[in-house]
Amino acid sequence: MQLKTLFSPRSIAVIGASTKIGSVGYTLTENLLKNGYAGSIYPINPKTDNLFGLPCYANIFLIPHEIDLAIIIVPANIVPLVLREVGEKGVPSAIIISSGFKETGEAGKKLEDEITLISKEYNIALLGPNCLGFLRPSLGLNASFAKILPEDGKIAFFSQSGALCTAILDITHDALAFSHFVSIGNKAVINENELLRFFASDKNIDVISFYTEGLIDSAKIIETGRAVLSQSDAKPIIALKSGTTPAGTQASSSHTGALAGSDDAYEALFKQARIIRATSLENLLDLLSVFSNNHLPENNRVAIITNAGGLGVLATDSAIDSGLRIASLGEETKKKLRAVLPPSASVNNPVDVLGDALALRYQNALEIIAVDEETDMILVIVTPQTMTEDIKTAEAIISIKKHYDKPIVAVFAGKKSFSAGIELLRKNNVATFAYPESSMMVLGSLARVTHWRKQIAIPPIKLTNIDQKKAEIIIAKVKNESRTALTEKETSGVLQTYGFPFFATYEVRSKEEALEVAQKIGTNVALKIVSPDIIHKSDAGGVMLGVDPNNAGEAYDRLIATVKKNAPDAKIDGALVVEMAGKGGKELLLGLKKEPGLGTLLVFGLGGIYVETLKDITMRFIPLSESDIDEMVREIKSFALLSGIRGETGIDVLYLKELLMRLAKFALDFPEIAELDINPLLAFPKGNDFRVLDARIRLEKNVA
Amino acid sequence: MQLKTLFSPRSIAVIGASTKIGSVGYTLTENLLKNGYAGSIYPINPKTDNLFGLPCYANIFLIPHEIDLAIIIVPANIVPLVLREVGEKGVPSAIIISSGFKETGEAGKKLEDEITLISKEYNIALLGPNCLGFLRPSLGLNASFAKILPEDGKIAFFSQSGALCTAILDITHDALAFSHFVSIGNKAVINENELLRFFASDKNIDVISFYTEGLIDSAKIIETGRAVLSQSDAKPIIALKSGTTPAGTQASSSHTGALAGSDDAYEALFKQARIIRATSLENLLDLLSVFSNNHLPENNRVAIITNAGGLGVLATDSAIDSGLRIASLGEETKKKLRAVLPPSASVNNPVDVLGDALALRYQNALEIIAVDEETDMILVIVTPQTMTEDIKTAEAIISIKKHYDKPIVAVFAGKKSFSAGIELLRKNNVATFAYPESSMMVLGSLARVTHWRKQIAIPPIKLTNIDQKKAEIIIAKVKNESRTALTEKETSGVLQTYGFPFFATYEVRSKEEALEVAQKIGTNVALKIVSPDIIHKSDAGGVMLGVDPNNAGEAYDRLIATVKKNAPDAKIDGALVVEMAGKGGKELLLGLKKEPGLGTLLVFGLGGIYVETLKDITMRFIPLSESDIDEMVREIKSFALLSGIRGETGIDVLYLKELLMRLAKFALDFPEIAELDINPLLAFPKGNDFRVLDARIRLEKNVA
């Protein structure tokens, strides 16, 4: 879908332009006219010939020019008619401002489906319905009914909530500058994925950001997010996601399902797509301020310059909490600092320039630290002391920030005394905070993007011995019988075709056979009677555990004899020889869970009785790479248990990763899997000893 | 110590008053004079007779009046001399503004010890040294060198950092009102504990708050914190604590020590003392704004009124994250809301009054919800839409807040359009935020205090069978031998005198004795050879496990015979008969850790191999109550494992609590315990089956 005519139109038709002051049709037309937009504007309203001094048309066909963008502000029920006219006229893009669609219920939903179809028929790039429109400061274009056109800048922002748009424009009117500011409304046609891809390739954009209540197609988002971060002009993406629907975590029959809540899924998605997730609206705006005004740092070492010890301590705590390191300043740096600071100042990080510091002392310290090789980012803290020079200190920060590439952020911890200094910093693109903690949180996110950029791919794991065909036959049978749950035998059958290790089980009919297969198994075995007449095998003496494989022949005879004595009338078909579990295995959980519309999650964590209480799990959407799997295995809290602690040998982590990769491949090959639980998988130091103890698979309903 | 003359002095001597503009002696004297303070002020400076139009004295003895408070602003080295004069004059309280003490190193530390001694000798209530002084708006008294005297109000605040004081005064000059604003500096004499107790009994104070980098004497803080919250005019206490010293978690020989970091200890302390811990400086100021302007809610159910769906969703998410419940509005309430709101408005919580809501619609909705019985608190969200009336909406909120007791907080999510409305709300004591998340976090804290107030005491656990004397003898022996670590035998000996269950062990010398004690033990036993010549018992065949008690006699004979065969030259003294562990016990950790100066922590959590990786532990300072122990047991993540899940029988939780209580008593009786580890304690459904598998005790060094 082309979005160029939508966001850079040469001509705009406003269908539903109005002279009624206060109406959306009036406000929007006025907004189009008053901000210096250089293209042509054609109001459409059958009731008048002239509007705002422009010729007004009764319908779009009467306009004797080509139109790039149609903005539609008419009652919902006539929108389909109007949109079809737009299509007939050959207009390539449109915004439907009108509400009254999906958000109002079933009838509105039908209307929205209709306009989606019309857009596809005429190939119209459609924004909305039920939206504010968009703003492009660089074009002097306010194609919305929002009051405030922000400054032109490098941030592209889009939001599912129109009210959040107006709130952000109002809060940040003097603080943030945007290239695109877009209200996407019900996203009938253009959704987050289209905009992410479009903005990713725009050279005038440095940061992409959005607010959403729900996304679709995780694979596309991950692909775009990773690509845009790895290109040479990396554009960080920042998202605010709300609306954790508890519905998603209800009705789940598996452990995996119960553990992987909807919000956890989004957490995983953002991590995987390398999208910074804002923790709050405030954090979102803080992130935009820092990301749009700074380059990415080389690494995560932060230096703090402060005129107040207490705030230095608060900043240090937050730095650690935010995953940053407190830079160890180089000896040369300390020497230079000693030369310009009073003797009682601290030249260790946090550098304390003392309460009586004038602007010059800040400037000297900043200049020295700006070239310190152990420092990647600088936080300058200024508190209002008797001698403090807020404006001059702001000027010093601004001038040094211009000369160096390192991120520099200011905390001006005052309001009454500092308003002029803060104003100056903002105007000169220095992100400024009142509190040390929030600034450190944002620097932590900045360093996280650097970390993501640096990550090295892990070599691929080669998967052999997968028999997809055989699995297809088993699953087809389940579907043919209109079932969703696989039987135990089907489950192990399917998983074995993908290389999952189950306990070996053989049916034998003689002493000799029993001995032979037991020796083939090689470990202690269990013998279980096979008889159609015996339901409770143990009660009839039909189970023997811990049998040495070399004694399996004699044991078989004893088993048969015992059962014959206890149940003389039962027909006996033979016995099962079953491999027994080794001792001391770690219980793990491997699972799959489909998030409708979004994708399938691969879930991994501690299994067994701990799974529900400790919830030590992690997840990622498939498809995923070896690096994702490596991250997953390492990020559970019990990783130390798996890799071995206190001299204990760890489990075969490489084989564990292979099994996770096998499960991911299985999910890709069978998208109809709704939920899958392998719990526990018993894991041992040797991959050969791994065994699946229990597993369940459930398919989606109504999948052909 | 009396603090009345300090904070309500009738007369003040300023030792080191100065005419030098910009000096601390000048600024402080000017601050005392210009804010309307009604008491007498006596400048002291030997270089002049007159200062600011007041008679100036050469020393304090020349003042022909009684002095309540001496403020000392002279170089550190002559402070002891001056302070002694203050004492001789009979002045009951003093502030040392001067720096140059503990904060500068060893020499300064000595000087500070000297002034502490002088204060004690003359019984002077001493604030500082190295502080700003204090401010009392209600008295027009600025006894500090801070520039801004805040408005008179109900918050008492004190801070270890002077710069934080000036920052807070500057940031909140038009937003918060204080009864006391105190810089406590190095707290040589008056520390946080004295101020907490003093402010607790002041009827003019509603909220107590402080910033600290480290406290002492947990027991006093807990006592004060609990008392002040349970009195009828409950005063919430709010603390900001920074400076998590990693030193505290270093050099620790026990699990308990390694797990209980210094910051965890403070987390526990604040929880136990019922002190709300601010998560950041911003959160501290948010908390003060909401706590000082609202009563405590009845419960934790919040209603949201908004003109924007998106922000309602963000607020809902944050409410859940903050431990609040979204109120289910009553049917009557919904009916009334339907009558005043447009048909497309949502009358379910969050109540959406729609984007075109004027002030009247907000007012109507607010009035209805203010009397809804299912709602305890109200958050009003206003975003800037075309029609929004910020001032009128603010007026509606102010008027309704005056008439109802429920906490009401406003989010005005705008800046450019909302400055007048926000100003109005602040002036009229409505806590106002720009962002929904931060407001919900604070309402969560408000509800938490209500929850604390409601908690019901748990009946005491009676401890019998404690033989303190016997434990004293064992520990005295360790000290006499200048050891700090107890041997295995001493450890089990001491713990057994406090009722901890160990495995029964008997030394026997004959077949008959072996049988007798094994039958007395009653479970399977282990037999171990006793011989001074055999070090590796197993290698010599000197260990038998899992012996049925009824076969213990024969087993004894077999053991002796085997060892005789394998080690014919060894002298054999007999055998140990040792009780063996039952199957399926849960491994727990119980521990003690002394935090120097602060108190001893009781630590509880999951034990065994999981202890270090999963860190599922909790802790509280001793002494503690049955309710504290109950809280501890319930708050670990694995509690569900202990209480029984999936049909499994849980452990005997009551007996577990008794053991924790026993350990707390042990720590009280023996304050010289530095660290104690019981890991694992094996826990079972029946208390009788609990056993300590391993334990260690280390005493403090140099304790007489």
What CATH number is associated with residue B392? 3.40.50.261
Asked if the C-beta of A249 comes within 8 angstroms of chain B's C-beta atoms, the answer is no
Rounded average pLDDT over B342-353: 92
Residues A528 and A552 reside in one and the same domain: yes
DSSP per-residue letters across B30-91: HHHHHT---SEEEEE-TT-SEETTEE-BSSGGG--S--SEEEE-S-GGGHHHHHHHHHHHT-
DSSP 8-state assignment for residue B684: -
Contact A147 B242 (CB under 8 A): no
Distance CA B679, CA B692 (A): 7
Measured in whole angstroms, the distance separating CA B566 from the mean position of its chain's CA atoms is 61
The residue of chain A with its CA nearest to that of B103 is: A344
Report whether pLDDT(A704) > 60. Answer: no
Instruction: Please report how many Cα atoms fall inside a 13 Å half-sphere around the Cα of residue A78, on the Cβ side.
Output: 8
Tokens of B505: 């062990």
Does residue A290 lie within any of the structural domains? Answer: no
- Return residues 421-480 of A near B (CB < 8 Å): 434-438
pLDDT tens for residues B435-468?
A: 999 999 999 999 999 999 998 778 888 899 999 9
Label residue A325 by pLDDT band (50, 70, 90).
Answer: very high
* Gap from B209 CA to chain A (nearest CA, Å): 16
Shortest Cα–Cα distance, A613 to chain B (Å): 5
Domain limit, last residue, from B551, B579, B607: B579
Report the DSSP pairing between strands B543-547 and B525-530: antiparallel
* Residue B244 pLDDT: 58
Instruction: Specify the pLDDT at position B387.
Output: 87
Residues B488, B444 share a domain? no
- What is the DSSP pairing of strand B617-622 with strand B673-683? unpaired
Shortest distance between the Cα of A579 and any Cα of chain B, in A, equals 23
User: What DSSP state is assigned to residue B417?
Assistant: T
Query: Which of B579, B610, B626 lies at the terminal end of a domain, its last residue?
Result: B579
Residues in A 117-156 with any Cβ partner in B closer than 8 A: 145, 147-148
A119's tokens:
């857009």
Inspect the interface and report whether the beta carbons of A384 and B320 lie closer than 8 Å.
no
Which two three-digit tokens encode residue A220? 């596309």
Judged against a pLDDT cut of 90, whether residue B263 lies above it is answered with no
Residue of B nearest to A100 (CA): B344
Question: Tens digits of per-residue pLDDT, B64-116?
Answer: 999 999 999 999 999 999 999 999 999 999 999 999 999 888 999 999 999 99
Question: Are B6 and B134 part of one and the same domain?
Answer: yes
The residue behind tokens 């319905």 is A129
> Alpha helix (H) ranges present in A569-671?
610-614, 626-635, 639-643, 653-669
What does the pLDDT read at residue A261? 66
Q: Is there a contact between A435 and B211 if contact means CB atoms under 8 Å apart?
A: no
Q: In what order do the strands lie in the sheet with B505-508?
A: B505-508, B574-579, B525-530, B543-547
**Domain termination site, one of A149, A167, A183:** A183
Same-domain status, B566 and B593:
no
Choose, out of A103, A288, A313, the residue to mutate when testing the contact with B (most B CBs < 10 Å): A313
Full domain range(s) for residue A100: 1-183
| A665 and chain B in contact, CB less than 8 A | no
Tokens 């915004």 belong to residue: A95
- Rounded distance, CA B77 to CA B464, Å? 58
What rounded mean pLDDT belongs to chain B?
Answer: 92
Taking each continuous run of H as one helix and of E as one strand, the counts in chain B are 24, 30
pLDDT at residue B249, rounded to an integer? 36
Task: Tell which residue, A389, A440, A388, A391, has the closest CA to residue A411.
Answer: A440
Query: What integer is the mean pLDDT of B6-20?
Result: 96
> Does the pTM of the predicted model rise above 0.80?
yes
| Helix intervals (H) in A90-174 | 106-122, 162-171
CA gap B183, B210 in Å, rounded:
10
- Are the beta carbons of A447 and A297 closer than 8 angstroms? yes
Q: How far is the CA of B154 from the CAs of A339, A496, A501, B703, in angstroms?
A: 47, 71, 69, 45
**Chain-chain contact of A438 with B282 (C-beta, under 8 angstroms):** yes
**Residues B481 and B620 placed together within one structural domain of the fold:** no
In a domain, B460, yes or no: no
Q: What would the pLDDT profile of A267-309 be if each residue is shown by its tens digit?
A: 999 999 999 999 999 999 999 999 999 999 999 999 999 999 8
Nearest CA in chain B to A169: B414
Asked if B244's CB is within 8 angstroms of A384's CB, the reply is no
Pairwise CA distance, residues B472 & B489, whole Å: 15
> Is B471 within 8 Å of B673 (Cβ atoms)?
no
* Residue A179 covered by a domain: yes
What number is the ipTM of this complex?
Answer: 0.87
Structure confidence by residue, pLDDT tens digits, B298-341: 999 999 999 998 899 999 999 999 999 999 999 999 999 999 99
Task: State pLDDT tens for residues A222-272.
Answer: 999 999 998 888 999 999 998 754 533 334 456 666 666 678 899 999 999
The answer to whether the CB atoms of A641 and B613 lie below 8 A apart is yes
Contact residues for B596 (Cβ-Cβ < 8 A; gap 6+): none
Domain count, chain B: 4
Report yes or no on A119 lying in a domain. Answer: yes
- Is the pLDDT at A612 greater than 80? The verdict is no
Contact A384 B147 (CB under 8 A): yes
A584 near B CB under 8 A: no
Residue A217 three-state SS? coil
Q: Of B191 and B643, which is predicted with more confidence?
A: B191
- Residue range A461-475: mean pLDDT, rounded: 94
The pLDDT score that the predictor gives to residue A298 is 96
Is residue A446 situated within a structural domain?
yes
Do A637 and B615 count as a contact with CB atoms less than 8 A apart? Answer: yes
Higher pLDDT, A96 or A456: A96
Residue B193 belongs to some domain of the structure: no
A211·B640 Cβ contact <8 A = no
Three-class SS state of A680: strand
Q: pLDDT digit string (tens) for A352-401? A: 999 999 999 999 999 999 999 999 999 999 999 988 999 999 999 999 99
In sequence order, what E strands does B456-598 have? 505-508, 525-530, 543-547, 574-579, 586-595
**How many angstroms separate the CA atoms of A171 and A149, rounded?**
12
Question: Domain check: are A318 and A407 in the same one?
Answer: yes
CA distance B297 to B303: 12
Residue B396 near residue B428, CB atoms below 8 Å: no
**Bond preceding residue B459 cis, omega within 30 of 0:** no
Q: Are residues A171 and A319 in the same domain?
A: no
Contact B608, B679 (CB under 8 A): yes
CATH number where A103 lies: 3.40.50.720
pLDDT tens-digit series, residues A545-556: 889 999 999 999
Residues A171 and A155 reside in one and the same domain: yes
| A104 and chain B in contact, CB less than 8 A | yes
| Confidence (pLDDT) at B612 | 72
Residue B401 belongs to some domain of the structure? yes
Q: Verify that B450 and B496 share a domain, yes or no.
A: no
| Cβ neighbours for A570, distance < 8 A, ≥ 6 positions apart | A531, A533, A534, A540, A563
B210 within a domain of the structure (yes/no): no
Pair (B409, B313) in one structural domain: yes
